[in-house]
Amino acid sequence: MAPNGFEQVWTGLLLRVENEAQLASVLGHEAAHFVRRHSLERFKTTERTAGLLMATQVGLFAGGVGGVNVGPVGVSTGDIGRLIATGYLAAYSREQEAEADDVGFEMMAEAGYAPGEAAAVWEQLMAEQQACDLPEPPALFSSHPPSEERLQTLKARARQSGREGATHRQRFLEATLPHRAEWLRMELNTGRFCRTRVLIERLIEDGANVGELHNFHGEVFRLRDEEGDRQRAIEAYSKAVAHASAPARTYRELGRVLWRDGRPEAARRAFEQYLEAAGAADDAAMIRRYLEQLL
């Protein structure tokens, strides 16, 4: 949330909420930071910090250490300043967070969404963080660390409100499912495999387009490539292809893992199934080359 009310919504959030009510609770929380001028206060604090940092950097530069490359990525005093500033920007105060929870809750409940979903979204985030033993929540929530206390407060508010509301899950799925595969690919590219695995396992339990999800479950294991992961990937791809929603590329990835696992016959069969399912794919010539190598 920017000081002028501009709000960015990242695809990582859209993957991590189960329905429109959960999305509304996060948007309400963010909007509350703007309405109550938290983001403006933070901006002003950052301005003051930046002035201080500039003075510090001028001092350091005068001392002869400005902009020196000290490692493979060339850390300079400018970078240090930026890191400090970023860390400073990341924090809303505990009081501001509590107020944003409160005001955001009212906004989503007033809009007719199910109040209980406000706690559910934070619960899911905490589960992801705990399952992977993460030192901090996913990046998009790093300025809003969930806590047991906040969770309990939101649950109590939902009970006390006595309101009921809609989740609008179907509407949410209709809007997001056409894009989900692309978002999951981006999620995989972050290289944060534990977090992605936990997310995908929850989505599988959730039950929409599970063929596609088993494919991505296999992708997590294939790309992570730890002990036992090839077999896990093969099992996940095999589950995927039993569902109509599995993309044709599942056969290709299955073939790649089987080949790497020293099972050329099974790999051949999988590549042939890929060509059968997606013969016009733009990598078909490469797959045919693989098949020649597998003869």
Partner 1 sequence: MSVWRTMLVALGVAALHAGCATNPRLVEAGDDAEVAAYEVDPQIEWSRQQARDLEIWTVNGVQLEQLRLYSDVESADSLFPQRQGASARAEPEERPRFRPDMRAHDVMELVQATLAQSGALDISVTQLRPANFGDRPGFRFDLALTAPSGLAYRGLAAGAVKDERLQLILFLAAEPHYYPRYAPVVRRIIKSVHFP
Binding residues for partner 1, per CB under 8 A?
Answer: 69, 71-75, 79, 82-83, 86-87, 132, 134-136, 139, 142, 186, 188-195, 223-224, 252, 256, 259-260, 282-283, 285-286, 289-290
Angle at 202 (CA atoms; ends 199, 206), nearest 5 degrees: 135
Residue 193 beta carbon to partner 1: minimum distance, rounded to whole angstroms: 6
243 within 8 A of 211, measured Cβ to Cβ: yes
Rank residues 142 and 170 by Cβ distance to partner 1 and give the closer one: 142
Half-sphere exposure of 214 (CA within 13 A, CB side): 23
Q: How far is the CB of 83 from partner 1 (least distance, A)?
A: 6
Q: Between 117 and 187, whose beta carbon lies closer to partner 1?
A: 187
CA angle 182, 184, 189 (to 5 degrees): 100
Measured distance CA(282)–CA(81) in Å, rounded: 46
Pick between residue 158 and residue 287 the one whose CB is nearest to partner 1. Answer: 287
Rounded distance, CA 109 to CA 117, Å?
A: 10
> Smallest distance, Å, CB 86 to partner 1?
7
Measure the CA–CA gap between 190 and 18, rounded to whole angstroms.
21
Specify the residue, 98 or 281, whose C-beta has the smaller distance to partner 1. Answer: 281
Q: Which is nearer to partner 1, 35 or 281 (CB)?
A: 281
Q: How far is the CB of 239 from partner 1 (least distance, A)?
A: 22
We find the least distance from the C-beta atom of residue 98 to partner 1, in angstroms, to be: 23
CA distance 251 to 287: 11
CA angle in degrees (0–180, nearest 5) for 38-95-36? 30
